[in-house]
Amino acid sequence: MVMKKKRKNISYAKWGYIFILPFFVSFFIFSCIPLVDTIKYSFFEYYRSGIKEVGPNFIGLTNYIELIKSDMVLYGANTLILWIIGFVPQIVIALVLAAWFTDARLKIKGLQFFKVVIYLPNLIMASAFALLFFTMFSTGGPINSILLSLGVIDKAIDFTGSVFGVRSLIGFMNFLMWFGNTTIMLMAAVMGISVEVFEASDIDGCNRIQRFFYVTLPQIRPILAYTLITSIIGGLQMFDVPQILTNGKGSPDRTSMTLIMFLNNHLKSKNYGMGGALSVYLFIISGILCAIVYKMTNDDDPDGSKAAAKARKKEQRKNRRAK
């Protein structure tokens, strides 16, 4: 009997390997090999000049040093700023909406309609969205045309001509595209909190705001962390919107040039060496960022699932006790 069971386990283990094989093969071919290749060429001088290829010549860390001396750090800062401009309103509005949507006393009419509408922008391809914004906010575009005819302004505003304008537009687009998604996720998390907790807080005389800060927020901490992480990863990869809006220039004065746009410039000039080094930097940055967030939210609980499970169990215990 014992023997049999053991044999059974071993034979099943084989299936485990088989089932996860496609994933790892695909990952190995399409991610590992390219990654190694990228890292390798980051130590070479290797680019195309016109229609002639130069290199590859081994040059050690030169590419890395060149990049540090370039404006890379500045583009990192741009990326961070653009991300914050989009993320802060996104998370604030999403939290407020999530609280409202789950508050039965507000009797919101057309809840389903609002949910559908605010999620809509998330589905639109960023490139089309950016192109749409570009045409709408051009000096002769519909927005200026409307504002002029309403008499709000008496001279067309050059939205894409100022640092403030471009950054706000990018932030606004990112906000519009993501706040619906975040709202619905947070809402689900809030709905996951048991009704008794809210009722208890009501009995304790909590007002809406107190309840939000002392009950809701702590309860949805794991999902907040999840949102933060996914948003940071997304922010680091920010590309489509500023690329299309500024036609790859990051204008004005390269203040809306993100790291990936910078990478794209090198890829476009077929500068494999420099592009490789930049990729390695990006890889390291994303690793560090995520490590920080993991640490910040929960030790040894990268996805927040354990915290959520713990919270759920605690609730259950509480509920049982209440009963």
The interface with other proteins within residues 129-168 (CB under 8 A) comprises: 129-136, 138-142, 145-146, 148-149, 156, 158, 161-163
Q: Which residues contact 3 (CB under 8 A, 6 or more apart)?
A: none
Q: Does 94 bind other proteins (CB under 8 A)?
A: no
> What are the distances in angstroms from CA 19 to CA 15, 25, 30, 80, 308?
6, 11, 18, 39, 28
Closest to 182 in 3D by CA, of 119, 240, 102: 119
> What are the distances in angstroms from CA 116 to CA 55, 110, 282?
53, 10, 35
Peptide bond into 121 cis (omega under 30): no
Least distance (Å) from other proteins to the CB of residue 214?
A: 19
What sign for the dihedral angle of Cα 282, 288, 289, 290? positive
In the list 4, 5, 69, 109, the residue contacting other proteins (rule: CB under 8 A) is 109
Q: Which stretch binds other proteins (CB under 8 A): 76-84, 209-217, 218-226, 314-322?
A: 218-226
Least distance (Å) from other proteins to the CB of residue 193?
A: 11
Closest to 100 in 3D by CA, of 240, 209, 246: 209
Least distance (Å) from other proteins to the CB of residue 43?
A: 13
Least distance (Å) from other proteins to the CB of residue 317?
A: 19
Phi, psi of 103 (to 5 degrees): -95, 105
User: Interaction with other proteins in 248-307: which residues (CB under 8 A)?
Assistant: 248-249, 251-254, 260, 263-269, 271-272, 274-276, 279-280, 282-283, 286-287, 290, 302-305
User: Interaction with other proteins in 14-73: which residues (CB under 8 A)?
Assistant: 15-20, 22-27, 29-31, 33-38, 41, 47-52, 54, 70-71
In the list 4, 105, 321, 323, the residue contacting other proteins (rule: CB under 8 A) is 105
